[in-house]
Structure 1
Amino acid sequence: MNQKIHNQFDLTDKVAIVTGASKGIGAAIAKGLAEFGAKVVVSSRKQEAVDEVADEIKATGGMATGIACHVGDEAQRSQLVEKTVATYGRIDILINNAAINPVYGPLAEVTGEVFDKIMDVNVKACMLLTNLCYPHLKKQGGSVVNISSVEGLKPGFGLGVYSVSKAALIMLTQNQAREWGGDGIRSNVICPGLVQTKFSAALWNNEKMLGQYERHIPAGRMAQPDEMVGLALFLASDAASYSTGGVFTADGGYVIS
């Protein structure tokens, strides 16, 4: 490649959908992609919440629109893709970040209803939304970035089915990469460690658990949402043109501790 390194991160004219983007990691990634020139569709369940993030992006000179979507709803997934194409004409990047809160407790206490709900949102919805985006990504080549968790690699917080769902998302990513590489579509997965978001508040609000975690890992602290942005930007951009099927951790060394 003759392209200068800094130009490889340029997302000008690229269109990105970020799910679960009203707060936390998703909002941080949406803002980061916009900062590098992408036209960003900010998506989450509530229109007011996604509009707020989209307005923040536009206030700093970026391009964004908010489209409400509950990823677990088939009709809303279709509308998200249709509205994105109607607004921007294409889809180049899909960040599957939306997930539901983990259920704490032993597997022996998990009901079929709880299992189905977690798997439907954390795995099935990601697969079906990406399938809807596939024809659009295929037109010019594109990037899928699935947000999993270190819990999908190394269970440690007693999150049971959540860990199972995140492990399944890793395998989904690798199958996407294998099947769609010939179409110019890359699919990679990011596995964050403990990040200080509302989603994970039950973990870091527990001082005993947080203390044990911070003493356990090489980095000695939990992460902030912004610390997930650089990796997502890399995987979404041409800088990662030879990266597909990859499992990337951003965990302060959790998986090696």
Structure 2
Amino acid sequence: MTTLVITGSTKGIGKGLAAEFARLGHRVVISGRSQQDVDATLVELGYPASQVVGLACDSVDKRQVEALWEFACEHFGTVDIWINNAGLARTVWPILDTPDAEIQQMVHTNIIGTMNGCRVAASGMKRAASQGLVLQPQKIFNMLGGGSDGEYFPGMGIYGTTKRALDYFTNALSKELKGDAILVGKVRPGMIITEGVIREAKVDKDNFERRRRFANVLCDHVETVTPYLAQQILAETKTGRKIRWLTPMKMTLRMLSGYVRSTPDKFTRYGL
């Protein structure tokens, strides 16, 4: 049985991963900025405290991240896999029009928050190893996204920059921790329909309607993707690698298929 901590797991892909790991019988610690949201998610997931627990944590505050690590260890003894999923996307503005406050939040949450999670988790894992508490491979995964490979998407200049930075950071960390037997990996989940995506679509409905057909071809629901990601995270054995759901080949095949047959609308269930 593996113990996992997933930041930003009261909604979206993080919540989906928590549900999938719990379904597979593993122990999971969820977190979000609000304890109310954490408690509501625990009720929704429906697992006993012997398997799934949660604590409010703002990953931008390193002390709160340290408290999350200690919380996990108090409940389950140690942490085998730490997933830095907490992130923020604002994709409706070009770079010059993005409000200052939104830039600050994206940079702090996506970059500083992930760095905090990595530093706390790696330090804790090294301590556990020195105390002989490690029974299985220790892993840290960072959630990437659009722009992390250097590609450009309209409206994602700031967000994509933060994810590009995380790609470099993860590569560097994987090299620095290689001698400590801590695997550091990347997860690129693809184009997932999350609460954030729905929010952005409703804010800029005209732009969404222009991209609706394209989005229906390439986007997936959370429950479609999480079983694959969870399986790959558990199975990964080599540091520095990227787990990717929507590969270039898969994107090409979907686009070609979209030209010859209609694609069911995936957004109607969200009121769009």
- CA drift at 1:54: 2.3
Post-superposition Cα deviations, 1:104-141, rounded to whole Å, max 9, x if no partner, equal 32222346654333211101111112111113333233
Matched, 1:157 2:131: no
Give 1:205-220 correspondences, 5 Å limit. Answer: 205=202, 209-210=207-208, 212-213=210-211, 215-216=213-214, 220=217
**Which residue in 1 is equivalent to 2:220?**
223
**Which residue in 2 is equivalent to 1:29?**
17
Could you tell me how far apart the structure 2 residues matched to 1:191 and 1:152 are?
Answer: 9
Q: How many percent identity over aligned positions?
A: 22
Post-superposition Cα deviations, 1:4-49, rounded to whole Å, max 9, x if no partner, equal xxxxxxxx1x211111111111110001111222210010011122
**Which residue in 2 is equivalent to 1:91?**
79
Q: Any conservation in 2 of the 1:194–1:200 contact (CA below 8 Å)? A: no
Post-superposition Cα deviations, 1:91-111, rounded to whole Å, max 9, x if no partner, equal 111111111232532222346
Q: Any conservation in 1 of the 2:189–2:229 contact (CA below 8 Å)? A: no
Unaligned 5+ segments in structure 1 are: 1-11
**Which residue in 2 is equivalent to 1:175?**
172
Moved more, 207-216 or 138-147: 207-216
- CA drift at 1:169: 1.2
Give 1:239-254 correspondences, 5 Å limit. Answer: 239-242=235-238, 244-251=239-246, 253=248
Which structure has the bigger radius of gyration?
A: 2
- CA drift at 1:186: 1.4
Q: Taking structure 2 as the reference length, what is the TM-score of the superposition?
A: 0.78
Per the alignment, do residues 118 and 125 of structure 1 end up closer, same or farther by CA in structure 2, a change over 3 Å counting? same
**Which residue in 1 is equivalent to 2:114?**
126
Could you tell me how far apart the structure 2 residues matched to 1:103 and 1:215 are?
Answer: 18
Q: Any conservation in 1 of the 2:32–2:57 contact (CA below 8 Å)? A: yes
Letter in 1 for 2:236: A
**Which residue in 2 is equivalent to 1:9?**
none
Could you tell me how far apart the structure 1 residues matched to 2:153 and 2:57 are?
Answer: 31
Matched, 1:234 2:231: yes
Q: Any conservation in 1 of the 2:229–2:245 contact (CA below 8 Å)? A: no
Q: Any conservation in 2 of the 1:143–1:235 contact (CA below 8 Å)? A: no
Q: Taking structure 1 as the reference length, what is the TM-score of the superposition?
A: 0.82
Per the alignment, do residues 59 and 65 of structure 1 end up closer, same or farther by CA in structure 2, a change over 3 Å counting? closer
SS of the residue corresponding to residue 195 of structure 1 reads strand
Unaligned 5+ segments in structure 2 are: 256-272
Could you tell me how far apart the structure 2 residues matched to 1:38 and 1:136 are?
Answer: 20
Could you tell me how far apart the structure 2 residues matched to 1:194 and 1:76 are?
Answer: 30
Post-superposition Cα deviations, 1:189-231, rounded to whole Å, max 9, x if no partner, equal 12233321111114444565445546447x8142111233134
Could you tell me how far apart the structure 2 residues matched to 1:35 and 1:58 are?
Answer: 11
Give 1:6-25 correspondences, 5 Å limit. Answer: 12=1, 14-25=2-13
Pairwise CA RMSD: 2.7
Matched, 1:198 2:195: yes
Letter in 1 for 2:222: P
Post-superposition Cα deviations, 1:164-208, rounded to whole Å, max 9, x if no partner, equal 001111112211211112222112212233321111114444565
Could you tell me how far apart the structure 1 residues matched to 2:172 and 2:225 are?
Answer: 23
SS of the residue corresponding to residue 145 of structure 1 reads strand
Residue-pair matches, total: 242
Match of 2:37 among 43, 46, 49: 49
Q: Any conservation in 1 of the 2:192–2:220 contact (CA below 8 Å)? A: yes
Per the alignment, do residues 57 and 108 of structure 1 end up closer, same or farther by CA in structure 2, a change over 3 Å counting? closer
**Which residue in 2 is equivalent to 1:5?**
none
